């Protein structure tokens, strides 16, 4: 029950084998949905292609509903899953820089790997840039450390932070997703078409 490897139901040596398989599926889905194309990815910001929004919201909604159903049926223990720590200022500042990088480069790390795999040279440039950026960060770590470790709020879930039952949050999220899909289709019909 629960996450299988942390509970020892699958020996831990399988962890790496499984990770390769999961990565394979992840790369396949990303590429087949078209995320190896930078122009498709930034379409969501200019209104000519909302594939990112659709994939993202659908994946998140399916995943969160599925996980909470499994938790309800006692097949999974949600409290054992990895919930990342919340560093308030680091998340906001990092997110801002990432957003700028996303628009400039047109990729994100996962999709850039997909782009590299099919031979897009700009994806290769992006990946090299990623490594340069990581390198720069570690060199400047001394300076940035206060920002990096500021306001660690622990590992809260949204339910903990806002005091709303997680199920209501999931319902709200699903409704937002449906509305977002509808709106995105309307917007796309009005925006000038871009061929890529």
Partner 1 sequence: MKKEDQFKSRVYWNPYFGGFLLGLLIIFTFYITGRGLGASGALKSVVVTTTDVIATEHAHSNKYYSQFLDSDDSPMNNWLVFEALGMLFGAFVSGAIAGRLKLKVEHSPKITSTRRLVFALVGGALFGFGAQIARGCTSGAALSGISVLSTGGFITMLSIFGSGFLVAYLFRKNWI
Partner 2 sequence: MSTDYKFKKFLTRRYQLLASVLVLLAVGLVLLPKRIKNDGVSPELFVNNVLSDERFISSDDLADRMINKDPSMILVDVRSKNEFQKFTLPGAINVPLENFLNEETLPYLDQNIYDIVLFSNDNFFANEAWLIGNRLGFNNLYVLKGGLNDWFSTIFNPTVPPETANKEAFDLYDFRKAAALYFGIGVYEKESAPDVRNASPKPKKVTPAPKKKKAAPEGGC
Span 150-169, contacts to partner 1 by CB under 8 A: 153, 155-161, 166, 169
Identified binder of partner 2 from the candidate list 11, 17, 20, 84, rule CB under 8 A: 84
Residue 180 interacting with partner 1 (CB under 8 A): no
Strand partners, 87: 152
Neighbours of 113 (CB within 10 A): 20
Residue 95 binds: one of partner 2, partner 1, none (C-beta under 5 to 8 A by kind): partner 1
Q: Enter the tokens of residue 78.
A: 């949600």
Contact set for partner 1, span 34-53 (CB under 8 A): 34, 36-40, 42, 45-46, 48, 50-51
Q: Measured from the CB atom, is 134 or 179 closer to partner 1? A: 134
For residue 52, state whether it binds partner 2 (rule: CB under 8 A): no
Question: Based on CB atoms, which residue is closest to partner 2, 5 or 117?
Answer: 5
Burial of 35 (0-12, 13-18, 19+ CB in 10 A): buried
User: How many residues touch partner 1 (CB under 8 A)?
Assistant: 131
When the beta carbons of 123 and 170 are compared against partner 2, the nearer one is 170
Q: Give the chain's end-to-end CA distance (angstroms, integer).
A: 46
The entry of partner 2, partner 1, none near residue 86 (CB within 5 to 8 angstroms by kind) is: partner 1
- In this structure, what token pair is assigned to residue 65? 């509903």
Q: Among 75, 141, 165, 196, which residue sits at the site for partner 2 (rule: CB under 8 A)? A: 165
Q: Is 83 in the site for partner 1 (CB under 8 A)?
A: yes
CA proximity to 179, closest of 61, 35, 43:
61
Per-residue DSSP letters for 4-69?
TTTTTSS-TTHHHHHHHHHHHHHHHHHHHTTTT-HHHHTHHHHTS--HHHHHHHHHHHHHHHHHHH
Report the DSSP beta bridge partners of residue 152: 87
From partner 2, partner 1, none, which one binds at residue 136 (CB under 5 to 8 Å depending on kind)?
partner 1
Among the residue ranges 31-39, 71-79, 134-142, 187-195, the one whose residues contact partner 2 (CB under 8 A): 71-79
Interacting residues of 87 by C-beta distance below 8 A, sequence separation 6+: 148, 149, 150, 151, 152, 153
């Amino acid at each position: 029950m629960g996450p299988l490897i942390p509970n020892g139901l699958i020996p831990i040596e399988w962890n790496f084998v499984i990770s390769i398989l999961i990565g394979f599926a992840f790369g396949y889905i990303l590429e087949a949905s078209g995320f190896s194309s930078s122009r498709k990815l930034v379409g969501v910001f200019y209104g000519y292609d909302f594939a990112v929004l659709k994939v993202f919201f659908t994946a998140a909604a399916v995943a969160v509903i599925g996980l909470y159903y499994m938790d309800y049926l006692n097949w999974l223990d949600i409290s054992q899953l990895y919930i990342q720590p919340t560093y308030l200022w680091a998340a906001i500042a990092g997110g801002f820089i990432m957003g700028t990088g996303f628009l400039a480069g047109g990729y994100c790390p996962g999709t850039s790997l997909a782009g590299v795999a099919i031979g897009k040279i700009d994806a290769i440039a992006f990946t090299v840039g990623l490594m340069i950026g990581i390198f720069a960060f570690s060199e400047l770590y001394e300076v940035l450390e206060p920002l990096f470790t500021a306001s660690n709020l622990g590992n809260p879930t949204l339910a903990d932070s806002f005091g709303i039952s997680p199920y209501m949050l999931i319902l709200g999220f699903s409704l937002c997703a449906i509305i977002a899909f509808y709106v995105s289709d309307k917007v796309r019909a009005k925006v000038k078409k871009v061929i890529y």
